[in-house]
Amino acid sequence: MDVVRIRRELLEYLLELARDFYPNEFAGFLREKDGVFEEILIAPNPHFGRSSAFFDTWMLPYDESIKGTVHSHPGPSPRPSRADLHFFSKFGGVHLIIAYPFTEEDVRAYLSNGEEVRIEVVE
C-alpha cells in the first residue's frame, strides 16, 4: 500500500476533534468503504488523557469495515511512540496520527510495521 485515501469531510472532522480534546489525546477507529476512510467510530468507555488514549478493543462491535485507527498527539511530533508501534503491531491496518497544532500538514499515516505512507484527501 503506497497511499491511504480519506474523505476531506472526515479529515476535517478529525482535526476538529483533536483541537477539541487538546491538551488531551483522542483516539478512534476508522471505517473504510470502497478503499476510502469515511467514518470514525469511538469505542465505548474511552479514556483520553494528556499522554495517552485508551479504549478496550473488546468492546468494539464486529465490523469488517474497520480498517484503521486515528489518534492525536498533543505535542508537535506526528511520529509514533513505542506504545503506538506496539498497538499498531497488534491491531493491523492503517494508523493516522494528528500532531499539534492539528492542521492537515500535521497528519501522518503509518502501516502496522511503522512504515509511513502517503495520504490522499478525496472530495
- The answer to whether residue 27 is domain-embedded is yes
Cell, residue 105: 500538514
- The answer to whether residue 84 is domain-embedded is yes
Q: Count of domains in the chain?
A: 1
Residue 37 contacts residue 12 (beta carbons within 8 Å): no
CA–CA distance, 48 with 122 (Å, rounded to integer): 29
- Can you tell me whether residue 44 is helix, strand or coil? coil
Give 73-115 as a 3 state SS string: ECCCCCCCCHHHHHHHHHHCCEEEEEECCCCHHHEEEEECCCC
pLDDT of 27 reads 86
- The answer to whether residue 56 is domain-embedded is no
Residue 48 contacts residue 2 (beta carbons within 8 Å): no
- The answer to whether residue 57 is domain-embedded is no
Rg for the chain (alpha carbons), in Å?
13
pLDDT of 6 reads 98
pLDDT of 31 reads 95
Give me the CATH number covering residue 8. Answer: 3.40.140.10
Other Cβ atoms less than 10 A from the Cβ of 16: the count is 11
- The answer to whether residue 58 is domain-embedded is no
- The answer to whether residue 104 is domain-embedded is yes
Residue 54 contacts residue 6 (beta carbons within 8 Å): no
- The answer to whether residue 59 is domain-embedded is no
Q: What is the pLDDT along the chain (123 residues), one digit of tens a residue?
A: 689 999 999 999 999 999 998 998 888 889 999 999 999 987 655 555 455 555 666 666 778 898 999 999 999 999 999 989 988 887 879 999 999 999 999 999 999 999 999 999 999
Domain of 45? 3-51+64-122
pLDDT of 15 reads 98
The model's pTM: 0.88
- Can you tell me whether residue 40 is helix, strand or coil? strand
pLDDT of 47 reads 54
